[in-house]
Amino acid sequence: MLYAILCYHSEEVVTGWTQEEDDAVMARLHGVHEKLARNGQLGPTARLHPTRSATTLLKSQDRVIDGPYAETKEQLLGFYVVDVADRDAAVAIARDLTKANPGGAYELRPISLFMPGDGLTQTAETA
Domain spans of the chain, in order of start: 2-122
Element (H, E) at 54: none
Handedness of CA 7, 13, 16, 20 (dihedral sign): negative
User: Would you give per-residue pLDDT tens digits along the chain (127 residues)?
Assistant: 899 999 999 989 999 999 999 999 999 999 999 999 999 999 999 898 888 888 877 778 888 888 777 666 778 889 999 999 999 999 999 999 999 998 888 999 888 766 555 443 444 444 4
Query: Any residues with CB less than 8 A from the CB of 108 and at least 6 apart, and which?
Result: 3, 4, 5, 6, 87, 90, 91, 94
What is the predicted pLDDT for the residue at 41? Answer: 95
CATH class of 2-122: alpha beta
What pLDDT does 70 receive? 63
pLDDT in the model for residue 127: 45
- Upper half-sphere CA count for residue 49 (Cβ side, 13 Å): 5
